[in-house]
Structure 1
Amino acid sequence: MPHEYLLKPDPHDARLSTSVTGIDHTGKPVDTRVVTEKALTLYLNSQEVVTMMTIGDHPDLLAVGYLKNQNMLKPDDVITGIDYDDDLEVVVVRTERETNYEEKLKKKVRTSGCAQGTIFGDVMESFDTIDLPKAELKTSWLYSLTKAINTTPSLYLEAGAIHGCVLCEQDKPLAYMEDVGRHNAVDKIAGWMTLNDIIADDKSFYTTGRLTSEMVIKTVMMGIPILVSRSGFTAWGVELAQRAGLTLIGRARGKRFVALSGSERIVFDMNPDDMDDEPKRASRKGREGDE
């Protein structure tokens, strides 16, 4: 029986992918699905903050999560409204508190995330004050999670060229979001957590993409103590994870994984010899990997 998510991708949403005709390696005509990509300009009250490239689903979650992870929405901020105009490709988040981030917006720094992800200089000041919860991750949970996530119908399996992120609790994936940039997928989950008052203390976070500095920073900013990926690491991502006390697990495929930070949270409750190696991932209709 498929796992029931609280929030998950809809690979059959016609707005999120389109069919394009081309030729294959033999010169024969071929139809293939490709994901859509559109601009979304975010305003906080009356101030323009950023224009993002996104697949266009859940603009409200993306907007709130972006502002939260950039430390532009404070814990005590009250959101009074979120307005989205599809024709103008604009989303406006309104708060009770008057905001003015003109100086902060001058300090933005390009990161390695797809679609020109950005962080701001003073985010690191908040990063260093966050005390992540103890929590734990049983290896049996990890094995169950990777199996459930990798067999979930998704835009990745339908069209490729996309990243996925999943919020998990013990052995259950709760919320699964995808986007052309992994940072957008993270922000959509952060927005969902914020708007639904989801506690982060007992959660773990899974991403299909690399464990970069940006992924580590966003996970810590969300207060989640465990970050897992089927992909690899960057040196700065590892350094920041160790600095924050984040459990960082990469190359999680089948019964194999590597932890480079926070290994004290891992509980080895299952013998990996009792696990089968990961089978070949479900077909993506001949497309190459996008990780």
Structure 2
Amino acid sequence: MSYELSDRRESEGGKTMKIFCPEEFPVALFVNGQEMSVYQLTNEDLEEWCYGHLFSEGVIESADDVEEVVIREGKISVELREDLDADALMQRKKRMTAGCGNGVTFFSMNDVLGFPKVETSHRVTLTYLLKKRHEFAKASPMYNETGGMHGACFIMPDGSLVIREDIGRHNAVDKVIGYGLLNGVNPEDVILLTTGRVSYEMLSKSARYGIGVIGSRTAATKQAVQLANFLGVEVVGYIRGKMSFVYTKHEKVINDLKAATSI
């Protein structure tokens, strides 16, 4: 979703350029009639975001826990199969995330340390991740139109990509996790790539789903790396070429860049 400005700037070659702005909308999420929070979202793939966010925050354990999702302008209403203890949820302390799109999480660092360890058999190379990150960038229409969107994608076992975009990096990850929940994707079979910084709450989303490898075109925070080391998640940052860096030592990502560039 993007907004075309009526004012057009003239390029150096004398041609006019259309200027597109990414759009964001406030959306209130209600669970069993109680308001969970209001989020800034891009108005695409909202059902997937809803499932992914509720799972990431520990409200549901699977897509089967949701009885109904009703999406109206500015509001998402969710009814669960079993009653949610909404009072207990609301008593949990909200934490504003270190990112864009008014991110909110109910999980603290200590909460995430209690997650099950992630067990996967992934063995991939940095050159493979670079290739897929390049494909991801080329196939991200909202970013390519506006230059101001975040994206997240699953690298599927056959090498295909499932891409979701949003104004917020956390929202984009929730959307692709929601896709996984709704389509029965085995988290042990996929790799998660994101355009945004890997902070502790981004790491917690991938770890809770059970993803063993997460990569980003930018950095990971110290807290995220500490959690990843503890939970068995491989974290790769700066996936841009020779800058690519494996922060963790789980031997799920092989650094073959020197061999590849010396040929």
Q: Distance in 2 between matches of 1:122 and 1:96?
A: 27
Q: Quote the residue 1:110 is aligned against.
A: 96
- Residue 184 (str. 1) matches residue 174 (str. 2): no
Matches within 5 A, 1:147-226: 147-170=134-157, 172-226=159-213
- Residue 34 (str. 1) matches residue 24 (str. 2): no
Q: Taking structure 1 as reference, are residues 255 and 138 closer, same or farther at Cα in structure 2, changes over 3 Å only?
A: farther
- Paired residues in the alignment total 258
Q: Distance in 2 between matches of 1:195 and 1:222?
A: 13
Q: Quote the residue 2:77 is aligned against.
A: 92
Q: Distance in 2 between matches of 1:119 and 1:153?
A: 26
Q: Distance in 1 between matches of 2:11 and 2:183?
A: 50
Matches within 5 A, 1:127-138: 127-138=113-124
Secondary structure of 1:53 counterpart: strand
Secondary structure of 2:244 counterpart: strand
Secondary structure of 1:187 counterpart: helix
> Scaled by the length of structure 2, what TM-score is found?
0.88
Q: Distance in 1 between matches of 2:228 and 2:114?
A: 11
- Residue 272 (str. 1) matches residue 260 (str. 2): yes
Identity value in percent: 24
Q: Distance in 1 between matches of 2:110 and 2:54?
A: 15
Q: Taking structure 1 as reference, are residues 177 and 153 closer, same or farther at Cα in structure 2, changes over 3 Å only?
A: closer
Secondary structure of 2:187 counterpart: coil
Q: Quote the residue 2:4 is aligned against.
A: 19
Q: Distance in 2 between matches of 1:223 and 1:204?
A: 10
Q: Distance in 2 between matches of 1:263 and 1:251?
A: 18
Given that 1:84 and 1:92 are in contact with CA atoms closer than 8 Å, whether structure 2 keeps it comes out as yes
Secondary structure of 2:219 counterpart: coil
Query: What are the superposed Cα offsets for residues 156-210 of structure 1, whole Å, 9 maximum, x if unpaired?
Result: 1101211000111357243101101100001111111111111101211000111
- Residue 227 (str. 1) matches residue 210 (str. 2): no
What's the Cα RMSD here?
2.5
**Displacement, 1:85?**
1.2
Q: Distance in 2 between matches of 1:76 and 1:61?
A: 10
Q: Distance in 2 between matches of 1:105 and 1:274?
A: 56
